[in-house]
Structure 1
C-alpha cells in the first residue's frame, strides 16, 4: 500500500513502540500483586487458555503479547493461530496460552485491553474502507497519549491510510499559522523554502480562500467543515485548475457523512472517528 502523498504507512510495530505502555499497564494493575489469585492458587499449577473472538472483526495487537508475557518471567508460552489482519468470526480461535495459572490470570485483563482496543480500531477502519472503496480513508492524530504508533498501525491493519504520524512528519498549515504568517501564500512559501523535502498540507475553512490556496500550490488542500454545496464547487475547481494537488475533506466526519463524499473519486477523508470512537472488539480468554 503506497502513501498517496501522505506519510509512509505504519505496516508493523516493534517492542520499542509499546513496551513502555506494557510496563505502565503492569504497574497499574499489579502494584502489590493479585490478592485474589495469590490467595487461591499455587504457583506450580499449570493450565491452558484460548484467546477467543466472540464478535466479528479484524484482529490487531498480537505483537504486544510476547512483550507482556516477559513480565511473567516467561512462565507462559503463547502459540498463535491467527495473525494481525485476520478476519475474525464469532468463535474464531486466535491463539493459545499455556503455563502458570496464576500468571495467566494476572495478565488476562491487560492482554485483552490491548487486543480488544486495537482490534476495535482495525475493525472500525475495515468497515468504512469496505463500504467506500473509492475514498482514501485517513486517520488523524486524535489518539490516546502513547498509543499513536499502535493506533496508526491498527488503522493500517484495517485497510485505512495513515495521515501524518506526528508534527515532524509533514507541514500542515491551519488558520492560526496563516493568520500569524500574514497570508496563505506567505505561509506556504516560508515552509517550502525552509523545508523543501517535506510535504505541505493547507487547511482552508471557506470557499473564498480557495483561489489563493491554489495559487500557493501546496501538496494537499484540506477542505475543513465545508458544506456539501461548497465541497462540490471546491472539488470541481481543484480538479480543473490544479489536478496535481491532492484533495482532502475533514470536520466531524462519521460513516453516515461519507455517502455524499463517495461520489467524488479518490479524494482523501480524514476521520478522527477511526481512533476516538472505538468499541472494544469482544474477545475473551477462556481457561480450559
Structure 2
C-alpha cells in the first residue's frame, strides 16, 4: 500500500478552525450562565500557574484545542507547550504549563481536559494496535461522534493508524444494497467509475462466491466483510495471484483479540471501528499552583 497512511488524503494536522465550533458548543454547554462557583470565590485579578500533567501511559493528542480556548478567554491565560501531539506519555509527564487569570484557568480546565483525554485515548488505541501488529494496515472507520470526525481521524493518524475515507464525498464504497440497485457488481463499479473516474472505489463482498466477479470489476479495494479465517486466507491468496494491484481489506466487528489471526497476512488492511468507538479517556489532569 502507499507510504501515505490513508486511502484518501490523511488527516495529518488540525487547525483552530477544526475546533472552533466544538469549543463554542462545549463552552455554552458548561457555562450557559457563567461559573457560579468560580465567580463567587475568585476575582478577575487573581493570577495562578498550572501544570498539565499525564497520569497515564499513552500518546498525546489534541493540543490544538488549547489555542482555541486561549482565544475564548481573550488571551488572559498563556500556555507554554512542553510536549507536542504524538509524544509518548508516561505517568508524570509534563505536557505543558498555563499561567494567567486563575478564574479563566478554572473555567477552561474541564473543556480542555475532555478534548485532550478523548483524543489521546484514540491515539493511544491506534498506537497500541499498530505497535503489536506492524505488518497489518490498521484503518479507522466513520464510526465517530458527530462533529468529531476529523478530530478522531487525526487522533488515529497521530497514533500510527491509517485513515479510511473522511466522508462520503472522498471515495465510493459499494455495499450489497448498492449492488442490488445497480443489478450486478460490474454495473455498480462501472456506474461510479463513469461519473467519478478519479475517485477510488471500494467494493464490499460477503462471500467467496462474489470474488471472481469482484476481481473482474477491478475496484481499487476489495473488502472481505465477516469472512471466516479459512475463506479470508483463500481470498487473499487468489487476489494476490490474480489481481495483485487490488488492495485487500478485512472488516466485521474486529477487535484487538481478533487481529492475531489476521496478522499472518502481511500488508492487509483491517478496518476497526474499535479505534474510535471503544475509547477510554487517557488520565490527564491540570494541577493548579
Q: TM-score range by the shorter chain?
A: over 0.9
Provide the residue aligned with 2:68 in structure 1.
Answer: 67
Give the distance between the partners of 2:14 and 2:49, measured in 1 at CA. Answer: 27
Give the distance between the partners of 2:59 and 2:268, measured in 1 at CA. Answer: 25
Superposed CA offset, 1:61-105 (max 9, x none): 001101012111211000000000000000000000001111111
Provide the residue aligned with 1:156 in structure 2.
Answer: 157
Superposed CA offset, 1:128-185 (max 9, x none): 0000000000000001011011101000000000000000000110111001110000
Give the distance between the partners of 2:243 and 2:284, measured in 1 at CA. Answer: 47
C-alpha displacement of 1:3: 3.2
Could you tell me whether the CA contact under 8 Å between 2:5 and 2:161 is conserved in 1?
no
Provide the residue aligned with 2:238 in structure 1.
Answer: 237
Provide the residue aligned with 1:184 in structure 2.
Answer: 185
Q: Secondary structure at the match of 1:98?
A: strand
Provide the residue aligned with 2:17 in structure 1.
Answer: 16
Provide the residue aligned with 2:120 in structure 1.
Answer: 119
Provide the residue aligned with 1:51 in structure 2.
Answer: 52
Superposed, 1:166-185 pairs within 5 Å as 166-185=167-186
Q: Secondary structure at the match of 2:199?
A: coil
Could you tell me whether the CA contact under 8 Å between 1:2 and 1:9 is conserved in 2?
no
Superposed CA offset, 1:185-230 (max 9, x none): 0000111111110110000111111110001010000000111111
Superposed, 1:123-134 pairs within 5 Å as 123-134=124-135
Give the distance between the partners of 2:183 and 2:94, measured in 1 at CA. Answer: 58
Provide the residue aligned with 2:100 in structure 1.
Answer: 99
Give the distance between the partners of 1:280 and 1:4, measured in 2 at CA. Answer: 24
Give the distance between the partners of 2:5 and 2:145, measured in 1 at CA. Answer: 25
Q: Secondary structure at the match of 1:7?
A: coil
TM-score for both structures, normalised by structure 2: 0.98
Aligned residue-pair number: 288
Whether 2:220 is the aligned partner of 1:219: answer yes
Could you tell me whether the CA contact under 8 Å between 1:217 and 1:245 is conserved in 2?
yes
Q: Secondary structure at the match of 1:18?
A: helix
Q: Secondary structure at the match of 1:110?
A: helix
C-alpha displacement of 1:5: 6.9
Provide the residue aligned with 1:262 in structure 2.
Answer: 263
Provide the residue aligned with 1:78 in structure 2.
Answer: 79
Give the distance between the partners of 2:125 and 2:155, measured in 1 at CA. Answer: 9
Provide the residue aligned with 2:275 in structure 1.
Answer: 274
C-alpha displacement of 1:2: 3.1
Could you tell me whether the CA contact under 8 Å between 1:80 and 1:96 is conserved in 2?
yes
State the Cα RMSD in Å.
1.0
Provide the residue aligned with 1:247 in structure 2.
Answer: 248
Return closer, same or farther for 1:4/1:165 CA change in 2, 3 Å cut-off. same
Q: Secondary structure at the match of 1:10?
A: coil
Give the distance between the partners of 2:5 and 2:80, measured in 1 at CA. Answer: 36
Give the distance between the partners of 1:17 and 1:214, measured in 2 at CA. Answer: 39
Could you tell me whether the CA contact under 8 Å between 1:54 and 1:90 is conserved in 2?
yes
* Runs of 4+, deviation exceeding 6 Å: none
